[in-house]
A and B are shown apart, each in its own frame.
Chain A
């Protein structure tokens, strides 16, 4: 799921600026380096017109439906049978369409008339969409199951009061290790990839994500800085660290980091929790052989959220769907199918044992929830990250 969400913050500017130019000869150079958050408002201003406006919350009762559900989601993020169950329960029909990145979804929603009722943007995308008024405020009275939200998912910086969004699923970024090669006695630290004394033993058997924010973020964490730093000096240090580590790398790889590990091509892999965990469970030895953890210095955490587009045709169905998924059993069915972390406290009793063991395992996040950071959009500084990453990769 998480693949290249980062690099994309700059890419987001391309369709946006193209949209503003609106015709002919747009080249990639058009994209100004300033993220996509503000430049987009103009577009919605012109197209939204009658439908945008004041942005009141929808007048909906609990369990009220006002039409069919059109869900716009990442691929394979919900069981089609579960979606059908929702449709049957409320006597409507439900369709799901998929997008492959936040940036592919954004322009469709902001142009208006997308026709979707519920979308699933990631954390930073919620900020961008809130700022642009591309999603509508939620009527919390229609979502009583919001009370099931686990405490660690409350007060999130991008939407502290769940005014616009409700967490859908979440995960972390960390390291997965093949203990058959590395042994079990290794430090739970980023030093296993960044400290030459340790990493040199596994030259050519390490993979790092091919993602500026994630990989430089890991280096920043190792150095004790925030992974959202806007200090050029700190970033330069992180760049040098990644650059010196690259000698030991098998690859900078995002899409198949998990597969490289279990196929034996790498012994230490930087990757996303859900991907790693699913992949590890696919192997015969499973968690006896492979270990996933977020190093003691901390790492990234990401959260996908349900939100309702500003011009959703069936806002009440959308509220009802969000409420329905926040129910304990439904939340568990969702997580048991896609194997990511559920933000739903009431779902925990219904989770698969494997998944629960993984989620509750205190050794996974070595220094606890506080050591995790969400990646936030650094605006103009975003280009410095991609430049530094290109230099580090040499």
Chain B
């Protein structure tokens, strides 16, 4: 990154740094408190009672919480894989092709992002309960709500987020690179595999992480799409809070937080790799020079 031309000096500089410190403190002070009190040997959050690892032990022994974590992870994993594939395909279709009703599809794709969570949740609730009636009536099955319905509802809203992120990347990409590949007799698939995909990879990875986090976080939609045996971690934690906040919830939050931070770091690393990659990606050696020539 190039340095900006005007670097703040004197008072301005001081004020800006103070502002930055205040903002970061505002962000991170609650997290630090949460972290510290997860080690407090007192049921009351906010009263320090000496150091203990007891809450983490409780967490490790607490079967319902661990079941909930597994449910969450399974849902999040499948959601991410499916919504990344579908979302990327949607982004490509809308960005690279012209077809009738494109603008309508374009607008419709954004809808799940705009719709309030509660509305989405109620729609899913009605959709699944009616849908299951029909399916069970037609096929004589005993299907019920559960992991599958939660996953489907998560995929439904994650596709939009993934495609928005991927489109941003596609938009900034020089489409002459694709044309060049096609000129050189690469098939559509080869072009996608060797030119487009490597270029948009950081966007795809970003979308995947977004989908993963959204799925792991969601409470409202999940609650309404859930069935027996499918309580996710956030839903369970919400239920726990009704009985008073104990440091156990802090401990669970710290673990969740650590996982999120890991994901963020991972995404930063991926983005950086993407930025550093040469403009022309891993194209078979023979083709590379010509692509570069055209690019210049």
Task: Please list the residues of chain A having a beta carbon within 8 angstroms of any beta carbon in chain B.
Answer: 1, 3, 14-15, 18-19, 22-26, 43, 46-47, 49-51, 70, 72, 74-76, 80, 95-101, 104, 107-108, 111-116, 255-256, 258-259, 262-263, 275, 279, 282, 313
Contacts and interface: CB of A to CB of B under 8 A. Distances in A.
A114 B145 contact: yes
A113 B133 contact: yes
Given A24-B119, A80-B63, A107-B122, A112 B129 contact: yes
B236 A75 contact: yes
Contacts of B64: 80, 96
Interface in B95-139: 115-116, 118-119, 121-123, 125-126, 128-130, 132-133, 137
Nearest to A261: B44
A115 B231 CA distance: 13
Contacts of B144: 113, 115, 313
Contacts of A25: 119
A3 B226 CA distance: 23
B126 A313 contact: no
A258 B244 CA distance: 9
B283 to A, nearest CB: 46
B125 A100 contact: no
Given A95-B228, A263-B46, A255 B118 contact: no
B115 A24 contact: yes
Contact of A26 (B119, B137, B224, B236): B119
Contacts of A275: 243-244
Interface of B: 43-47, 63-64, 115-116, 118-119, 121-123, 125-126, 128-130, 132-133, 137, 142, 144-146, 223-224, 226-231, 235-236, 238-245
Contacts of A113: 128-129, 132-133, 144-145
Given A259-B44, A263-B46, 14 more contacts: A1-B243, A24-B115, A50-B137, A70-B227, A75-B242, A76-B239, A96-B231, A104-B223, A108-B223, A112-B129, A114-B145, A114-B227, A263-B44, A282-B43
Among B227, B230, B236, the most chain A Cβ lie within 10 Å of the Cβ of B227
Contacts of A95: 228-229
A115 B145 contact: yes
18 contacts: A3-B242, A18-B118, A19-B125, A22-B123, A26-B118, A43-B126, A74-B239, A74-B242, A76-B240, A96-B64, A97-B228, A97-B229, A97-B231, A99-B223, A108-B125, A108-B224, A115-B144, A115-B228
